[in-house]
Amino acid sequence: MWGYAVGGEIKVVDRVRVGGVRCSLGEGVALIELEKTLKARSVKTGYGRLFFNDEKVFSAGFKHLSIDADVKPAPGGSFSISLNLKEAAGLLRDFKGVLCAPAAKIDIPIGRDIWILLFTPVNSKPRIEVSKPLLITDKASVQASLSVDGGGLRYSLSAYGSGFRSAGLVLVRCVDTGVSMRHRFEIVTVEERLADARPGESIENTWRPIRGPQKTVLAVMRSTPFMKDVTPLLQALGCNVRNRPILGLSIAPNPFTLGDGGPTKYWVRLTLNGKTVDEALLKVSFQR
């Protein structure tokens, strides 16, 4: 289903059948209007997450990571929600994933609550901080330099000398949204190999954060979504999902990163023969 936004068209993943949706994107704020009249006790808005796991039996659920407002909607008429814009972040590996975005929880007196998540591209320049500029080891003549350059992380891996098979740089992303009864530990970690060098090689390049989805996506779901609800959302966000007989669900690319920033934590690790010998902390954020 398609909705309309000021400045362009958006993709609406409506699993509740709320009907028409209008989304106006302003300076740091989005106004969402639902055509369907909903009887709600309250509407909580803030920044939330959708966590899901298909390890044994598929399970998925929402929760707020922070709350900006808790209001009681006026009875009757159209339904309007205001959300503070923030970057969408998320990681997915082997169909275990977490998606974080501005979110609204509509408290329904009878039946399951309704959640709205708004995923928008980020147009602003990222802010990157690195805890130290040099990664080294005393086991070989291997080092890596790190610096921030034009909204990216500039890195150089130098693997001189001998006595080792390979050296590498690995970027580790981790989103940890706490503990819940349904999912227990809500942690998703993925690795991205930045560089691999053999003795005598030197590699230079720049890593740049992912700025969310290519197009704005608005998701409307019940509080306990099923696999058939999560799958079209992932596809709308640019992750290809396949359900193969016997083998089950698979995604491409695997792992999949929706966007950087938000609650994501980062490490850059220097490896020697596949083992970590030094690391630096990385911080990534965007300003709207």
Nearest to 287 by CA among 265, 267, 262: 262
Q: What is the pLDDT of residue 264?
A: 98
Q: What is the pLDDT of residue 169?
A: 98
Among the residues of the chain, which ranges form H helices?
A: 227-236
Q: What is the pLDDT of residue 110?
A: 85
Which residue type sits at 43?
V
Q: What is the pLDDT of residue 2?
A: 36
Place of tokens 């106006």: 24
Alpha-carbon distance of 136 to 130, in angstroms, equals 15
Q: What is the pLDDT of residue 7?
A: 45
Q: ∠ CA 13-212-52 to the nearest 5 degrees?
A: 55
Q: Are 148 and 130 in contact (CB under 8 A)?
A: yes
Alpha-carbon distance of 11 to 32, in angstroms, equals 13
Nearest to 178 by CA among 27, 31, 64, 25: 64
Q: What is the pTM of this model?
A: 0.91
Q: Which three-class secondary structure state does DSSP give residue 35? A: coil
Alpha-carbon distance of 97 to 89, in angstroms, equals 11
**What residue ranges of the chain have pLDDT lower than 70?**
1-8, 76-78, 288
Phi, psi of 265 (to 5 degrees): -105, 150
Domains delineated in the chain = 2-123+212-249 (no CATH), 126-209+254-286 (2.60.40)
Q: What is the pLDDT of residue 76?
A: 65
Q: ∠ CA 123-125-131 to the nearest 5 degrees?
A: 140
Spatial neighbors of 260 by CB under 8 A, at least 6 apart, are 87, 89, 126, 173, 209, 210, 211, 284
The whole-chain average pLDDT of the chain stands at 91
Query: Residue 77 CB: number of other CB atoms within 10 A?
Result: 8
Alpha-carbon distance of 83 to 105, in angstroms, equals 11
Q: What is the pLDDT of residue 56?
A: 80
